[in-house]
Chain A
Amino acid sequence: GAVVSQHPSWVICKSGTSVKIECRSLDFQATTMFWYRQFPKQSLMLMATSNEGSKATYEQGVEKDKFLINHASLTLSTLTVTSAHPEDSSFYICSASFGTDSQETQYFGPGTRLLVL
């Protein structure tokens, strides 16, 4: 099946710094990528939808100036957490969609665990 990678797999940073997370589709081109956030023992919450070459669409309540998303190519999307604070500590998961219509499937990356001290 299609493979999606994330880098880094985990990161620890000091409060106030910025962290960039990369999401790559390794063997297919993804027109659309998605960013999710998952708190411990909870479900995934969609943060934003990212389309190549255009601005990301953020879900209600997600600060677009804090969570910067760039979808520079059909295989790469990045999420930058700016001025991170302890409450931003979470598990961030990206996904990339492949296929069309009923064959369209989202493939998920392995996730990035962020700990802000």
Chain B
Amino acid sequence: AQSVTQLGSHVSVSEGALVLLRCNYSSSVPPYLFWYVQYPNQGLQLLLKYTTGATLVKGINGFEAEFKKSETSFHLTKPSAHMSDAAEYFCAVSEGGYSTLTFGKGTMLLVSP
């Protein structure tokens, strides 16, 4: 079985500060890992994904994430937060392809001026 744990239901940063959203996973096979962003009353938008190969993955809007197998982590970072980054972020895992996506509980990112 697969699972995802996102540490912190809310993360607050100032505009221009580093964004770090934490995600740990468990999977019985090499995982596919994803970060999605959800704006209020909208569906999910894919930020980035890791399947195989390079462990540092770059996504849209300046976000990136690093797959660390030894730590079973896939933390999301952005060097400088922007007000428009305020949204809810979901980490997800699948055991290869799209057998099933399992989502974490989400982390709300709050950005203050």
Contacts and interface: CB of A to CB of B under 8 A. Distances in A.
A associates with B: yes
A1 B45 CA distance: 10
A102 B52 contact: yes
Q: Which 9 residue pairs across A and B have the least CB separation, nearest first? A: A102-B51, A108-B43, A108-B44, A110-B43, A43-B103, A111-B43, A43-B105, A97-B98, A44-B103
B25 to A, nearest CB: 14
A32 interface: yes
B44 A93 contact: yes
B101 A43 contact: no
Given A42-B105, A44-B103, A102-B52, 6 more contacts: A32-B98, A43-B90, A104-B98, A106-B98, A108-B36, A108-B46
Interface of A: 1, 4, 6, 32, 34, 42-44, 46, 49, 93, 95, 97, 101-111, 113
A44 B97 contact: no
Contacts of B45: 108
Interface of B: 32, 36, 41-46, 49, 51-52, 90, 97-98, 100-106
A43 B103 CA distance: 7
Contacts of A93: 43-44
Contacts of B44: 44, 93, 95, 108
With a 10 A CB-CB cut-off, give which of B36, B43, B45, B106 has the most chain A CB atoms: B43
B106 A110 contact: no
Contacts of A101: 97
Nearest to A42: B105
With a 10 A CB-CB cut-off, give which of A43, A49, A108, A110 has the most chain B CB atoms: A43
